[in-house]
Structure 1
């Protein structure tokens, strides 16, 4: 399940995005192609945004 790279922001929780990152690493055996690397980078940015959103909500 590849993300839609044109959709800004995240509506998913950090845990959901983290699970997708973990699934990507499991699926690829730890070796990312250029396309998978782009997906990983997108997911990390989405995860960081979700973490920031969760911290703001908790404050």
Structure 2
């Protein structure tokens, strides 16, 4: 398992990373995977996208 692998319990509620940080991890995942995700990597990707979307939402709310 990759040390970057994210599971739902890794990020405590209310403690979010910036969208840029999550985006960087998404890019690294795709680079490691060579463009094709395994089932485990697909799960990691889906969790990262949810985290990224939450970070984007938080940024929009703060800006308003």
Runs of at least 5 residues in structure 1 that lack an aligned partner in the other structure? none
Moved over 3 A (4+): 7-10
Q: TM-score, normalised by structure 1?
A: 0.90
Task: Measure, in 1, the Cα distance between the counterparts of 2:39 and 2:54.
Answer: 23
Number of the residue aligned with 1:23: 28
Q: What's the CA shift for 1:4?
A: 2.9
Of 10-19 and 30-39, the range deviating more from structure 2:
10-19
- CA root-mean-square deviation: 1.4
Task: Measure, in 2, the Cα distance between the counterparts of 1:4 and 1:35.
Answer: 11
Q: TM-score, normalised by structure 2?
A: 0.84
Number of the residue aligned with 1:3: 6
